[in-house]
Amino acid sequence: MHLKGLDLNLLVVLDALLAEKNTTRAGERLFLSQSATSGALGRLREFFDDPLLVRSGQKMVPTSLAESLVEPVRQLLMQSDAIINYRAFFSPQNSTRIFRLNVGDEVATVLMTKVLNRVRQEAPGVSVEIHSYTGSGRAEMARNLSEYVEEGHLDFLVAPPCYISSHHPSEELFQDRVVCVAWSGNKSIQKTISLEQFLFHGHVVTRFGPHRPEQTSAEDQGMENLLQEAGYERKIAVVVPSFTLKASFVIGTDLVATMQESLAKFYSKYLPLKTLPLPIQVPPFGMHLQWHRTLQNDEGSRWFRNILKETANEVFPLTAKKQVEAKSPEGAGKNSPAPQPPANVDRIEHGAVEVHASNLRFRQRGGAQLQS
C-alpha cells in the first residue's frame, strides 16, 4: 500500500529502527540484511526530508521528528495488523493463529499446563508462545512489560497489578494465597509453623537476574517488608532465579520457603513437601490479565481470554469463590456495597497492605498483620 508515495512496509522498518536505534538490530528483527535496512532508512529520510536517526558517538539517536513519530507509527501498525487479522467469526478448529503470553514460571506451571490442554482440544492448529521477560529491577521490568504490550509483541500479560499499564484493558484473572512449604521429613516442623520457627529456619527466596536485592520477587519482597517493619528479620539461606525452584531446594533440608498456595499444592503431588499456613495473616493477592486495546473486540482474543478465565476458576478456588459470591442475590445488583478488605486492613495491593494502627503498635505497609 502506498500513502502519498510512502510504501506502508517502510513504516514497519521505521518502527523497528526507532525501537532499536541500530540498523543491524532492526534488520535482524525484521529478517532483513543491513544493506536492505539502510536502503529503507534512506527512502524514509527522503520522504520525511529529515535524517530521522543521527550518529552521536557510538550510537544512533532519533531526531525530534523521529521521536514524534514513535507513537503514531506504532498505533498505525497495530491498527493495520488488527484490520488484516480481523475475522467476523473466529473458528478455533480451523485457526492457525499464534498467541503470545508473558507469565511467570509459577503461573506457567499451575495454570498454563491446563490451558494448553484445552487449547489443543478446541484448536489443534493454534500455537502458543510463553515468554517470561524480566529486567534489572522491578521498575525496568514494569517498563519492559508495558512496552511489549504497547508494541504488540505480546497478546496477553499475566502479572501483579504493579506491572499492569493503565493504557490498555485489563481485569483480575485470579486470586491466590501465600503459604509456607517445608520438607515432609523435617521433624522440627509439624502441621504448623510458629513465628519463632519461621524466623529460625533458613529461607529459600526468588531473585531475578544477577540476584541483586532490588530484583527480589514481589512476593518475597512483601514478606521482607512486613518482617523488617515489625522488627524481625528472616535468614536468607538460598537464592534461586525462579519460583518453581523453591520447592526443590527445601527437600532433604531444614529450610523453608514461601510460595503461592496453588504452586505448593501442585508440587506436593510429586515432591515430599508439607504445606503450612503462615504464622502471619497475609490477605490473598491478585494477578491480572492485560491485552492491547486493539484486541478488545477481536474474536480470537476473546476466545483465548475466556479459556484463561474459565481455567483460572478451576485452578484457583479463591477466584471461583469470589465469583460465586458476586453472583449471589446478596452480592448482585447495582446498589450492592463494594467488596470490603479483610478485617484490620485499610488497603490491599500486591505486596502493599496497610493495617489499622488501632489494632497494632505499628502501621504495616508491605504484607500483613503479625499474629499476636
pTM of the model: 0.66
Q: CA-CA distance, 18 to 22, in Å (whole number)?
A: 8
CB 154 within 8 A of CB 102: yes
Burial 348-363 (b: 16+ CB within 10 A, else e): bebbbbbbeeeeeeee
Residues near 328 by beta carbon (within 8 Å), at least 6 away in sequence: none
Element (H, E) at 245: helix 245-250
First-to-last alpha carbon distance for the chain, in angstroms, is: 69
Query: Of 214, 218, 212, 206, which is closest to residue 181 (Cα–Cα)?
Result: 206
At 332 the pLDDT is 44
Pairing of strands 352-355, 345-349: antiparallel
Query: Of 168, 151, 105, 160, which is closest to residue 131 (Cα–Cα)?
Result: 105
At 86 the pLDDT is 63
Low-confidence ranges of the chain (pLDDT < 70): 1-5, 82, 84-88, 134-138, 209-216, 218, 319-372
Query: Of 258, 251, 256, which is closest to residue 272 (Cα–Cα)?
Result: 251
All cell numbers assigned to 257: 520457603
User: Considering the domain 98-175+285-320 in this protein, what is its CATH number?
Assistant: 3.40.190.10
Pairing of strands 280-281, 256-260: unpaired
Amino acid present at 224: E
DSSP 3-state of 288:
strand
The structural architecture, per CATH, of the domain 2-84 is Orthogonal Bundle (1.10)
User: DSSP letter string over 24-53?
Assistant: HHHHHHHT--HHHHHHHHHHHHHHHTS-SE
Burial class (CB in 10 A: 0-12, 13-18, 19+), 210: exposed
Q: CA-CA distance, 340 to 150, in Å (whole number)?
A: 33
**pLDDT tens figures, 49-103:** 999 999 888 788 999 999 999 888 888 887 777 676 666 578 999 999 999 999 9
At 336 the pLDDT is 35
* Start and end residues for every CATH 3.40.190.10 domain found in the chain: 98-175+285-320, 176-281
DSSP 3-state of 156:
strand
Query: Of 237, 260, 319, 239, which is closest to residue 108 (Cα–Cα)?
Result: 260
At 333 the pLDDT is 43
At 350 the pLDDT is 35
Q: CA-CA distance, 362 to 295, in Å (whole number)?
A: 45
At 188 the pLDDT is 93
DSSP 3-state of 95:
coil
* Start and end residues for every CATH 1.10.10.10 domain found in the chain: 2-84
DSSP 3-state of 299:
helix
Phi, psi (rounded to 5 degrees) for 325: -65, -35
DSSP 3-state of 234:
coil
Q: CA-CA distance, 211 to 355, in Å (whole number)?
A: 30
CATH assignment of 176-281, among 3.40.190.10, 3.40.50.740, 3.30.9.10, 1.20.1240.10: 3.40.190.10
Q: CA-CA distance, 64 to 52, in Å (whole number)?
A: 8
At 346 the pLDDT is 35
